[in-house]
Amino acid sequence: MIISKDVKAFDGVNEALVGMGTDLNREIAENLGLNAEGFEAVTANDFFIAADCDSEEVFQKVIENVDEMLNKKAEKSKAEYVPPTLEGALKVEKDLNMAVISVPGRYAADVARDCLEHDINVMLFSDNVTIEEEKELKEYAVSKELLVMGPDCGTAIINNVPLAFANVVKSGNIGLVCASGTGAQEVSSIIDQLGGGISQLLGTGGRDLRSEIGGLMMKQCLNALIEDAKTEIIVLVSKPPAAEIEKQIFEIASKTEKPVVVCFIGGNVEEIKKSGLYVAVSLEDAAHKAVQLAKEETVTDFTTFAMGQEKAEELAAEEVSKMAEGQKYVRGLYTGGTICDEAMKLLIDDLGSIRSNIPLKPEDRLEDARNSASVEHTFLDFGDDEFTVGRPHPMIDPSLRAERVAEEAKDPQTAVILVDCVIGYGSHEDPAKELSDAVRKAKETAAKEGRYLSVVATVCGTEGDPQSRTATSLQLANAGAIVLPSNAQATRFVQTILKKLQ
């Protein structure tokens, strides 16, 4: 998929698709008008290059280049032996105890079971695993005291090894159990920024706290961290679970001597406090509290700006002073689902209604969000299914979101665009590039029509990440975005702007 994008960037290439001949890829090729004569013969076992080129020479160049790109990839891994089967892997590495599974969903459960049978913990990156399979796998895992992180688990860090979409964080004494990917990335990255370190970051998958699964893995992971000698402080991150499951989790958490910070945003605060746990009011606040506990400092709520309320008010007032009559809405355009959800939760009391493809209230659903214009205050999660059909996740391919940034600028009612930029392993190698170009273009569009568009951004990730937090922030700020140190602060800044607009 990534190669497709590189090929599309060639001079003389109008459209391109490179990949295996799966049903999905064949359908995409058809939709793109790339199913030329002979394409019907391509099967799931074939690798194909389909391109709409200006000339035959261009196509020859494309083929050579794809060859080169693939060889480069192959060269990189040449030195390593990549075993094709689990049995092969176990032959070269008998002590194998962790597997990351990212085969298509319908095969994933079988592979996972196979691993568990060999006493191997599982990170199940695959989605499209049925909830029955998930339950069965997790029950089996619990019976063997193993982990099944997932399905659809995108982020984990085990003994300082980042798995899938994870950030390069310092090693330390804070252990995390997270139901979501960008929630985990946000909390762990901020812990790193604040000088704290991570012992383990365990994922449960988004459905774990549903009554069907009953929080099997949240409880298993929590117990694992309680027993982990490296972990001295524990953080739980999730949407609020059902009351009954919550109770079971708090029972376990309240029994350990280790302090536990609970970040179930929108959850039952009294219940958390009653159990002797620490309540976090945002992902950032969870990170702050964990670091305060690690440093044995007094635990306080962090609900303001690192730069101070006064400075933030000043900056917001300056943004507002440049806006035109009629600019009044925020458009939140996110690649990270959980931080999108967090932003909406932090704003909903003020705004009353936020239209979204992942709405907080069913009546606020924006139907066919990919093809619909935003309505009043709108937040879009570009990682949600309807945006990822036939294309990679927006953290890998940032183009669709970037296009929308430019698009929202044309609406005279748009006052502020709020964006995330998630870096780290797994993410695009330079996600700020396309985004900052879009920000520049969006600001120009608004300026041409006599408006001022405020763009507020947050970078989720660390300085140690391949993309670098500083380099990423700089690119966005150079394009005119107000870059703030966390999603909560960026959201609060938007809130400050909107209040001044009333």
List residues binding a second copy (CB under 8 A): 194-195, 306-308, 311-312, 314-315, 463, 466-471, 473-474, 477-478, 480-485
**What is the smallest separation between the CB atom of 68 and a second copy, expressed in angstroms?**
21
**What is the smallest separation between the CB atom of 231 and a second copy, expressed in angstroms?**
19
**What is the smallest separation between the CB atom of 410 and a second copy, expressed in angstroms?**
22
Identity of the residue numbered 204: T
* 273 versus 295: smaller Cβ distance to a second copy: 295
Element holding 481 (H helix, E strand) = none
**What is the smallest separation between the CB atom of 225 and a second copy, expressed in angstroms?**
23
* 93 versus 318: smaller Cβ distance to a second copy: 318
Nearest CA to 416 among 310, 325, 319? 319
Q: Would you state the structure tokens that stand for residue 454, as one six-digit string?
A: 């405020």
* 340 versus 481: smaller Cβ distance to a second copy: 481
- φ and ψ of 422, to 5 deg: -95, 120
* 164 versus 483: smaller Cβ distance to a second copy: 483
What secondary structure letter does DSSP report for 304? S
**What is the smallest separation between the CB atom of 463 and a second copy, expressed in angstroms?**
5
**What is the smallest separation between the CB atom of 66 and a second copy, expressed in angstroms?**
24
**Residue 415, CA distances (Å) to 252, 326, 328, 403, 497 in order:** 46, 8, 5, 17, 9
* 312 versus 406: smaller Cβ distance to a second copy: 312
Is residue 293 within 8 Å of 278, Cβ to Cβ?
yes
**What is the smallest separation between the CB atom of 12 and a second copy, expressed in angstroms?**
23
Nearest CA to 477 among 469, 466, 465, 489? 469
- Chain centroid to CA 113: 27
* 372 versus 478: smaller Cβ distance to a second copy: 478
Is residue 217 within 8 Å of 205, Cβ to Cβ?
yes
> Strand 13-20 vs strand 47-53: parallel, antiparallel, or unpaired?
antiparallel
478 HSE (CA, 13 A, CB side): 11
Could you give the angle at which helices 181-193 and 283-294 cross, rounded to 10 degrees? Answer: 40
* 237 versus 312: smaller Cβ distance to a second copy: 312
